[in-house]
Structure 1
Amino acid sequence: MNPEKTCSICQTAVAGNYCSHCGQKYSEKKTHTLTLLVDLVTNFFSMERSGFATILKVLKNPKSIVNNYHNGFRKYHASPGQILVYGIAVVALHVAFVTDEILGIELKLDNLAVQYAFWIFLYPFFISISYISFFRVEKSFSKHLVSLIYIATSLFIAITVVNDIIISIWGDILGGYGFVLFVALIFFWNSRVFTTRKKPIFILLNALLQIAIFAGIVALIVNNIEYFSTN
């Protein structure tokens, strides 16, 4: 007869492979290097709860993922914070092994790591533009925050991985156009979340509205910088 197992988390007697109280899984097999590597790979590429699976689902249907998290459902899909950590890691790896430029944009700051600076500078723009564009549709600022973290980070990871492969084979043929593509796709995907009408033309129009606002803000900032630098 097998000795009674006790859950290491809640000290409840375990019958089978799962604790009936907290849900922790128990395996009688000890962990070895091979099993650890297999666990890491299978969890990363899992089609259910992994960050990789969530990124794929955001790219396929962002509205369902954003609504699911904003409505209070947790633990099945990776959270926005977890996806953001993936994004920060991708920036760090890209800068370390490929190039200092991120999608054709070079950031050099003395007191702030580039992987953090990239997101710190961009997220306020994206979230503010989304809130301005869709204020009548969604007044909750938190939903715009959730949407942009999911969408911007997922798209960034996908584009950066593809672009790094292109760079390794053909060189940096995209250059700054990679960043332009990144911004355009963010606003198109964000429109898929907040556009209430189902026809694709309305999604496209809302995306163009956000792009126009973004371009206007960038132009205003550039003009102010040029004005103060010459005076």
Structure 2
Amino acid sequence: MIEENCRNCKEVISGNFCPNCGQRRFKRINRGYVIEEIQDIFVDVNKGFFYSLLKILRNPGKTAREYMDGNRVDHYKPIALAFVLGGISIFVSTSVLNLDEIMKSFSEQQHINSKLMSDIFTIISSYYAILMILLLPIFAFITRIPFKKQGHNYYEHIVMNSYVVSYYTLMSILVMYPILFLFRQNPEKMMLVSQGSFLILPLILVWFFKGFYNHIPLKKIIIKILGVLALTLLAYILAIIVSTVAFVLYGMFVDKGVLEYAKPK
């Protein structure tokens, strides 16, 4: 086996693991790596959970770059981290804030008469953290398009976006949820804070990718992020059109009851 230097401590590695710090020999992130990490969520707990949280809070883009370049021994695996933080977010939003019940009440106050629309509104507001994780494959596809020339593959972009989602979820837990708790008796203000938090995402994306690709000028990063936002909007519109057509066809030819579910009362 060819010798190489450890990406974490620079010790010479002749086997699969560094004899000094124990880190595995560097392996580029690919499809097999992502599948292995998802499996590890359920069978392994990495020791670097709080270390990774602190690193992400300081600079998520730089942290992701370190991990991508092979310095992984002290880090909690990013996809697993996104799932753990997503679980914490759902627990706080539903068990502490009772956000799902509050959003249902808000829907009634706003006269959202369709049960389908009310349920969609409640799910998005209360379980957005898990929805973002489930959409990671789409986010990765979108961010790879403007940054394709940088040479990172699709699965590496899944890991990048895991860090973005983790950072956003972590800031929601630390900042947004305490504010929502203060306004828990006022659904209108809670909704305003919740919706306003999504407006911060473009800034987070600029900060993240500037930290990750620190050799790219800020102006070019902003232009690329605008491209990401445009592609995201396009994907959203296409998803709405496709899902609406599929829903109507299902209601017309399979189960007419679903049309009643969507019909205003």
Could you state the TM-score of these two structures normalised by the residue count of structure 2? 0.56
Aligned to 1:55: 53
Aligned to 1:17: none
The aligned amino acid for 1:136 is K
User: Are residues 1:217 and 2:235 paired?
Assistant: yes
Partners of 2:64 and 2:160 within 8 A in 1 = yes
Residue of 104, 129, 138 corresponding to 2:151: 138
Cα distance, 1:139 vs structure 2: 3.4
Aligned to 1:179: 198
Cα distance, 1:80 vs structure 2: 0.9
Cα distance, 1:217 vs structure 2: 0.6
Number of equivalenced pairs? 179
Cα distance, 1:212 vs structure 2: 0.9
In the aligned structure 1, how far is the partner of 2:141 from the partner of 2:176?
Answer: 27
In the aligned structure 2, how far is the partner of 1:83 from the partner of 1:203?
Answer: 26
1:107 is paired with a residue whose SS is helix
In the aligned structure 2, how far is the partner of 1:158 from the partner of 1:227?
Answer: 36
The aligned amino acid for 1:165 is P
Distance 1:22 1:61, change over 3 A: closer
Deviations 1:29-57 (A, max 9, x none): xxxxxxxxxxxxxxxxxxxx753442342
Distance 1:128 1:22, change over 3 A: closer
Distance 1:192 1:88, change over 3 A: farther
Deviations 1:105-161 (A, max 9, x none): 5328xxxxx588424432122111112221111232232122111121122121233
Structure 2 unaligned blocks of 5 or more: 1-19, 23-46, 104-119, 185-189, 250-265
Distance 1:149 1:105, change over 3 A: farther
RMSD (Å), alpha carbons: 3.3
Deviations 1:51-77 (A, max 9, x none): 344234224323332222222222223
Partners of 1:58 and 1:151 within 8 A in 2 = no
Structure 1 unaligned blocks of 5 or more: 1-20, 24-48, 109-113
Alignment identity in percent?
A: 21
Partners of 2:48 and 2:76 within 8 A in 1 = yes
Aligned to 1:125: 138
